Amino acid sequence: MKIQKLNSGGSGEQVMKEAKKQGGLNAEIQSRIGHQLRAMYDDVVRQGVPDRFVELIRKLDVAEANPQLRNAGDKNDGGE
């Protein structure tokens, strides 16, 4: 399979050289890159959002929903 060639030694460089010769990335090369990126990051996507980020997003949502909280923070940051 052609996608597997991208993982073997040096063939990734060959693909990039081909892209430079052609003046851009053709559909086949874009597809190969897309498949490789999905394979690499699929595990990351499955992990979900860490709890600390969920908590930060929740706090931001609360501050956004309550403008008084947001404005109070602006007054305490040393601004005018």
User: Structure pTM?
Assistant: 0.36
Do residues 29 and 9 share a domain?
yes
Residues 23 and 43 in one domain: yes
Q: How far apart are CA 33 and CA 15, in angstroms?
A: 10
Same domain, 43 and 4: yes
pLDDT tens readout for residues 14-71? 767 766 666 688 999 999 999 999 998 998 888 888 999 999 999 999 998 887 765 5
Residues 39 and 7 in one domain: yes
Q: Are residues 1 and 30 in the same domain?
A: yes
**In which domain, by residue range, is 77 found?**
49-80
Kindly tell me the sign of the dihedral angle through the C-alpha atoms of 45, 50, 55, 59.
negative
Same domain, 21 and 10: yes
Same domain, 42 and 53: no
